[in-house]
A and B are shown apart, each in its own frame.
Chain A
């Protein structure tokens, strides 16, 4: 944590700072530290899982798997911590491998960065399920921090049936 903070304090968009942010995020999500994870996002951040057959779609035009604004994302976190969230109680064990991190564009205090992900999900007695895909992040520099302004997880799977629900934060 301290190492992450030190590096993030530079608040520069470079491979190190962005990689630290993504690895820190993966660690929080895998540890189910969901409130802390929310702290990595801006107050007006969005989280998207677009349709597999139309990853570039606009959530106002096409049905997404997940299209959360901040009010809904906060509610999602409340839900994920509730024992009545049957899909995630007990919650999945996930293991995220984040790689191929690239900074695509920097524009003042904003940047776009991409990364590949493999998320292994284990739940109950089911065989493990592997969610493969890539992230597209829009990041913002807020004071000495890098924060996530938009987070899009694009799945490679042709269909979702084999993956089951996307009931955890992907």
Chain B
């Protein structure tokens, strides 16, 4: 669940139907640029210490606060511009761009996720058996949002998330298939998570590397296997 919530290279493989939906709706899904990059521009995977981690990405898929995409409809343009100007007025240009033009997938070790993308979703999950995970998810919204803003945020949420969304059911299918594969762990005891490992300590781990995934597993190993990092 952690890996799926924060790894960015699965987007193309797992969620091409969602990308098609965005593209068919007139959203500009740019082709990959630059070697080793899957998204339009560079994003990062960050180690926040103690097993916590986040991705930090340029936004290309719209944000109710505050980046318009065609899925929101022409009517929404002026309103989103206004949300944006309020951000700039309150926070300044730089900080406003940080809020409106970047996405974060944040993992609080071990089982709390805050994904700040198409809409903000909070996930909490708890294993209730070796082959069963209970997942609870919430949609987070600003208390001061207008009726139209709330409707837009909920609509945006359902483009991607939830048991009837255009992406989450495929994540669930992938997790179930992976779980099935892990039953062969006696014969195949390793899961490769080496992307970005050859980089030096001063080089940035990209969001499509697996450095941030190793952050989680190293902490897990430290606590569960007492091996240390």
Contact = CB atoms under 8 A, between A and B. Distances in A.
A93 B151 CA distance: 33
Nearest to A47: B164
Interface string A10-24: 000000000000000
Given A87-B169, A165-B164, A82 B20 contact: yes
Contact of A67 (B16, B158, B168): B158
Contact of A63 (B134, B139, B170): B139
Interface size class of A (residues with CB under 8 A): 20 to 34
A167 B157 contact: no
Interface string B8-28: 000000101110110011000
Nearest to B152: A60
B147 interface: yes
Interface stretch (A1-9, A73-81, A143-151): A73-81
B48 interface: no
Contacts of A165: 163-164, 168-169, 172-173
Nearest to A65: B164
Contacts of A78: 17, 20-21, 24
A94 to B, nearest CB: 15
B166 A76 contact: yes
A60 B163 contact: no
B217 interface: no
B166 A79 contact: yes
A86 B154 contact: no
Interface in A128-170: 160-161, 163-167
A59 to B, nearest CB: 7
B77 to A, nearest CB: 17
Given A78-B24, A161-B134, A86 B158 contact: no
Contacts of A106: none
Given A67-B154, A75-B21, A86 B164 contact: no
Contacts of B168: 165
A163 B20 CA distance: 27
B174 interface: yes
B163 A65 contact: yes
B182 to A, nearest CB: 15
B57 to A, nearest CB: 22
Nearest to A164: B172
B109 interface: no
A84 B135 CA distance: 24
A62 interface: yes
Contacts of B16: 82, 84
Contact of A75 (B24, B169, B173): B24
Contacts of B166: 75-76, 79
A29 interface: no
Nearest to B17: A79
Contacts of A60: 147, 150-151, 154
Given A60-B147, A85-B17, A166-B163, A75 B25 contact: yes
Contacts of B173: 86-87, 165, 167
Interface of A: 49, 59-67, 71-72, 75-76, 78-79, 82, 84-88, 160-161, 163-167
Given A86-B170, A166-B163, 11 more contacts: A61-B147, A63-B158, A63-B162, A65-B163, A67-B155, A82-B20, A85-B170, A87-B169, A160-B163, A165-B163, A167-B163
Closest 9 CB pairs of A and B: A165-B169, A87-B169, A66-B164, A60-B151, A167-B169, A79-B17, A86-B173, A86-B170, A65-B164
14 contacts: A49-B164, A59-B151, A61-B147, A63-B157, A78-B17, A78-B21, A79-B17, A79-B20, A82-B16, A85-B170, A164-B163, A166-B163, A166-B169, A167-B173
